[in-house]
Structure 1
Amino acid sequence: MLWSWQNINIEENNAGQYYPDYAYEHALFTPDMKIYTDSKVSDFFQKLKPEQSVGFLNSWNKSKNKRQKIYLSYDSTNKNCQAGDIDLLEHGNAKTDVSLPIFNYSVACDSANREPLFYELYPGSINDISQLTCMIDKAHGYGYRNIGFILDRGYFSKANLEYMEKNGYSFLIMVKGMKDFIREIVIENQGSFENSRGKYIDRYDLYGTTVRRLLYEGDTKKRNIHIYYSDGKAYGEKQEIKQKIRRLKKYLDGCVGKECVAFGPEIMKYFYLNFEQDGKTLKLAEENASAVEKELSLAGYFAIVSSENMTEREAIELYKSRDVSEKLFRSDKSYLGNKSMRVYSDEALSSKVFIQFIALILRSRIYIALKEKSEKMLKRPNYLTVPAALKELEKIVMIRQLDGVYRLDHAVTATQKTILDAFGLNEGNVRYQAKEIEKILQHQ
């Protein structure tokens, strides 16, 4: 499986048929650096058994420290597919090309230690809100008790919040959109904290305050609702609102004098519509200034709900720790080639996702090491990202000379030394490994 990680991370590609070309130019982890064929790679995907992936996930999660409280960051995506032999494929809420069936894929990450813990594959017709309860059960099955969940706005629902509390888990969740009850709380608190230096959170350049409220009808416990305001976010959102109003107005101007059956709720919210006597022909579209002004006044605000008592600063710090897992998740879809699976059976899909999850664990270790190295440097160089660092290390090559011996082509550069130092390695380690590879290749 390690060859898969090598190929995925360096080539940023998950196409198995390119493996022989890759293997010819790289040191391998196979016995005597044997280069396997395309068919061997394909057989591996087909023969990997479910108990192997399940066994790995059980062992991986068993090794984690269960005594300290950890926060799980959970995210999901869906993938289009046209292969006819995959049972998970169903029509659902596709992010792209809604005409194609999809399957869903989610990953739970430890926000503090910044590493993936487990993943899920489930049918395309199941939405994120419904699947969350299954993920909570899986976390419980892996032995996690003292945990909290950091969730994106897509998981906000009464049923999910009640289920987490029933199982004794805390939560921190972004409120989806600007819900009506949050709007009311924001309006109540407007002007009370937006320019207060005591409420300023310098790290994220925003202001915050916390109030306690019941979240929904029948709720028995007041929650911490953390309200934030950002000048930068306000400017961007106001520009979007203005552009949206211009776009809608232009559309309505084109409808004047024409018969219009119905308009969407957005138009009805921001415009007064006047019709001719027939009740169908649009006569005039007039902007609802108060509605637009209210929307503009709420620009720059957002809210996070937490089940535990914490300050607005603690809440945003905790939620921002989710950024790491989101970057990992993006890398899973981008660098690890998980956007396109290139498989045509359930067995191959399951095997490939399992291998890519292992690659994601390894990539997260690389990412953390490079990030920590970058943060220690006065000037953060652009080569301490995962793709850039791996491509730079790719320049360390061995060349076969006339005597049939493979030797390093050139000394390690200063840039490569900096990258190696992030992993606790140095030029001596490179030369030692080169000698070991040289010995192996001499016998082939």
Structure 2
Amino acid sequence: MTYLVKQKIRGRTYAYEAENYWDPEKKQSRQKRRYLGVWDEATGHIIPKTAERDVKTTKSLGPAYLLDSVSSEIQLRKKLSESFGEDGDIILAMAMSKLLHQTSLKNLNTVLDDSFLPEMYSLKESFSSQWLSNFLERLATKEKSMNSFYNSLIAGEDETLIFDITSLSSASRNIDWLEWGYNRDGLDLPQVNLGLVLSLHRHLPLYFKLFPGSISDVVTLKNLVAEVKALGISKSLFILDRGFYSENNIKEMNDANIDFIIPLPFSVNVGKGLISETNREIESPANAKRFGGDIFYVLESEIQIGSVDAYGYVLFNKKREGLETNSFYNRLIDIECAIDGKEFRNPIDQFKRTAGNFERYFEYTLEGKKIHLSRRVNAISQAVNRFGKTILLSSSRRNWDEVLSLYRERDEVEKKFDDLKNELEVMPLRVQKVETLQGLLFIFFISLILRAILLRRAREAKLLDKSSIEEILMELSKLRAVKVGGKWRLTEVSKKQRMILEKMEISVPVEANMVIKKGGV
């Protein structure tokens, strides 16, 4: 028969399960003991032992805790849950997993095996490949939920918006929207086009839309204007790349009372006219201005694009002119050195391959299989005449430096596309259905939102001076949760981990169980 034995050692009372037995060799009664744990005098209960063999599992908690903390800045979990119900936490966890490990979502199970995300959001799903495909297809059908989520991001505020479009390529034969078109990455594959809208002031992705691959940039703008208004943005400033320029697009935006800034291509008659008109006077000392430590020569003029009155800003920077001139003539001379006076089996083909888009700057004559080049002086002069110059078109009169500053900020959208294609590993697309693709891109879209907030917070904390986002996440991955005796416990928070969290104004976790999100938001 067993019984309880308590033994006090150095001020603590320990509990043992004891059992008497007869030892035939020593011919006496002896006692077996099994350690149970510490006896709590206050409650009269045993605190169970915590031996190494009781450890069930260990998981990385730090990165998940960081992403959850920064997402609360815009109440991302609440917005997703209100729009998608129980699927909201799954969407958020999947998006976070893309930032924890830059790998395909098909490896989601492996990523979540070592992450505290399933415990944090009480996820019970299998995350198998079949489950994942079904979930993404189902997600794509929730158009009403997606619009609700976009509306919650925008929240009726007036926004300065940046919009751009990129190509996502695939060799899949089952996605109807994969079509041949202008491929911005130079890939010889059919594509779908992805449009992305960002808030300039909040540096936050607000909306994305998928288009068939053959649709050009200018065609997408009309629908975008209507959709942005439907999402509750009553006043907006579109900052667009030159690919969106057309008289029709300018009219569409003007008719919809949408403010815009867009580069004016040199190739259109209005652009040629402005360059020609301003060439002689632009370098006047009276036109010299300073922007970000650089000197710009600036001329402003009222111009008409079709029936629309607008404002043009011709900006000339000598430093940029010098760099562009140097690069241009180096390329020109390299082509001459490689081709001029030399014999080739197919001299014309060789010339075209070598010169590429510089072919327009040369005349050539043939002497047998030998090719001789001469420069087209007028064409070269016309090109050089534009170096260092930019024409920015604005729908309303603004200070020139405000126009330039706003346009330079549109680089933000290029960085987001870079994140999407490279760091989040979207390219090339491996899905087989357009519905799966739409669901997948929505997950990536949430990842972009998280990354945008994380980057801004890390930048404001001056952490990016010495570390990348990936290095910050790697350092925090060492902060782990260990399951001991049925309870999650935190490993010790290191000095560097504490510094990262404190600089980003995030409270240092004290207990793993407190990180677990309860039902509801």
Q: TM-score range by the shorter chain?
A: 0.7 to 0.9
In structure 2, the CA distance between the partners of 1:349 and 1:63, relative to structure 1 (3 Å rule), is closer
Q: Is the 8 A contact 2:314 2:390 kept in 1?
A: yes
Task: Work out the CA distance in 2 between the residues paired with 1:6 and 1:283.
Answer: 58
Indicate the residue corresponding to 1:5 in structure 2: 95
Distance in 2, matches of 1:20 and 1:424, equals 31
* Residue of structure 2 equivalent to 1:77: 166
Structure 1 CA distance, aligned partners of 2:445 and 2:483?
35
User: Is 1:172 aligned to 2:256, yes or no?
Assistant: no
Matched AA of 1:389: I
Q: Is the 8 A contact 1:74 1:149 kept in 2?
A: yes
From 444, 462, 465, the counterpart of 1:381: 465
Distance 1:94 1:431 in 2: 50
Q: Which residue of 1 aligns with 2:505?
A: 424
Question: How many pairs align?
Answer: 422
* Structure 2: stretches of 5+ with no match in the other structure: 1-90
Confirm or deny: 8 A CA contact 2:154 2:232 kept in the other structure.
no
Give the direction of change, closer, same or farther, for the CA distance of 1:369–1:257 in structure 2 (3 Å limit). Answer: closer
Trace 1:342-361 onto structure 2 (pairs within 5 A).
342-361=430-449
* CA distance in 1: counterparts of 2:263 and 2:131, whole angstroms: 46
1:41 matched residue in structure 2 = 132
> Residue 234 of structure 2 corresponds to which residue in structure 1?
145
Partner of 1:248: 335
After TM superposition, the score normalised by the length of structure 1 is 0.83
SS in 2 for 1:320: helix
SS of residue in 2 equivalent to 1:334: helix
Distance 2:111 2:149 in 1: 31
Q: Which residue does 2:117 correspond to in 1? A: 28
1:132 maps to: 221
SS at match of 2:341: helix
Secondary structure of the corresponding residue to residue 398 of structure 2: coil
Structure 1 residue 122, shift from structure 2 partner: 1.2
Q: Which residue of 2 aligns with 1:230?
A: 317
Give the structure-2-normalised TM-score.
0.72
- The corresponding residue for 1:412 is 494
The residue aligned with 1:326 is: 414
Aligned to 1:115: 204
Identify, as 1 or 2, the structure richer in strand.
2
Q: Deviations over 1:391-429 (max 9, x none)?
A: 22222123456x565433332323x334323543132xx
Structure 1 residues 72-81 or 316-325, which shifts more? 316-325
Cα distance between partner residues in 2 of 1:394 and 1:32: 20
Percent identity at matched positions? Answer: 20
Match of 1:303 among 385, 388, 391: 391
2:290 to 177, 201, 208: 201
- CA distance in 2 between counterparts of 1:438 and 1:258 reads 70
Q: Is the 8 A contact 1:275 1:281 kept in 2?
A: yes
CA offsets 1:189-228 (integer angstroms, 9 cap, x no match): 3464558597433326241423224354xx2344221122
Distance 1:158 1:204 in 2: 35
Contact between 2:98 and 2:105, CA under 8 Å: does it hold in 1? no
Alpha-carbon RMSD across the aligned residues, in angstroms, is 3.3
Q: Secondary structure of the equivalent of 1:431?
A: coil
- Cα separation, 1, equivalents of 2:166 and 2:421: 9
CA distance in 2, matches of 1:21, 1:141: 40
1:285 alignment counterpart: 373
Moved more, 150-159 or 232-241: 232-241
**Alpha-carbon distance change, 37 to 294 in structure 1, aligned in 2, over 3 angstroms:** closer
Closer, same or farther in 2 for the Cα pair 1:255/1:422, shift >3 Å? farther
Distance 1:67 1:7, change over 3 A: closer
Corresponding residue SS for 2:390: strand
Structure 1 runs not aligned, ≥5 long: none
Asked whether the 8 Å contact 2:162–2:240 carries over to 1, the reply is yes
User: 1:357, 1:25 → 2: CA distance?
Assistant: 24
Are the counterparts in 2 of residues 369 and 422 from structure 1 also a CA contact under 8 Å? no
Indicate the larger mover: 303-312 or 362-371: 362-371
Structure 2 distance, partners of 1:361, 1:12, is 16
Residue matched to 1:95: 184
One-letter identity of the residue aligned with 1:381: D
Tell me how far 1:98 sits from its aligned partner.
4.9
Structure 2 CA distance for aligned equivalents of residues 325 and 76 of structure 1: 9
CA distance in 1 between partners of 2:414 and 2:517 (Å) = 42
Asked whether the 8 Å contact 2:200–2:409 carries over to 1, the reply is yes
Highest Rg: 1 or 2? 2
Query: d(CA) in 2 for partners of 1:49 and 1:232?
Result: 49
How far apart are 1:314 and its partner, in Å? 0.8
Aligned in 2, Cα 1:341/1:206: closer, same or farther, shift over 3 Å?
farther
| CA-to-aligned-CA distance 1:1-27 (integer Å, 9 cap, x gap) | 1221121011123x2232222112111
Instruction: Classify the secondary structure of the residue corresponding to 2:183.
Output: coil
Letter of the aligned partner of 1:248 in structure 2? I
Quick one: which amino acid aligns to residue 436 of structure 1?
M
CA deviation map 1:138-196 (0-9, x unaligned): 11222323112100111111111111111111210023356554344234434645585
Would you say the 8 A contact 1:225–1:306 is kept in 2?
A: yes
Give the Cα–Cα distance (whole angstroms) in 2 for the partners of residues 437 and 7 of structure 1. 17
